[in-house]
Amino acid sequence: MSGSSRNLRDVWILILLAAACVCYLAALALIPLMPGFERIEGIVGVVLGLYVCAHPARHFMDLLLYRKIEGERFPSARSMAAWLALNGVVMLGGWVVIVAGVMRLTAGAR
């Protein structure tokens, strides 16, 4: 697989993961707590957040471990910075979903 097609595929994966985060958070905000389902909603949030964070974490580790090989994928330092910024935004979104899931998971513990 060529570098540019892999790069484009990875960008679409990140966009879809970010959209999944937004949909989950919107559902949490719009749907009131249903008694008895807090644990299920929390587990779904934590698992979704971990999955979302796994992809940017893999990209960061690839860049750290294989900097020379992975660095050649980018035509300029500016495109690499944009790629890292996109990964950072998705990572932050995943972290927010994990926190929301944990809050939902512990909502019934009071």
Helix, strand or coil, per DSSP, at residue 110 = coil
pLDDT for res 84: 84
HSE of 83, CA atoms in CB hemisphere, 13 A: 24
pLDDT for res 87: 86
pLDDT in tens, 78-96: 877 888 888 888 888 889 8
pLDDT for res 66: 79
d(CA 50, CA 105): 15
Cite the DSSP H helix spans in 31-74: 38-65, 67-71
Q: Which of 27-31, 88-92, 96-100 has the lowest mean pLDDT?
A: 27-31
d(CA 26, CA 50): 18
pTM across the whole model: 0.75
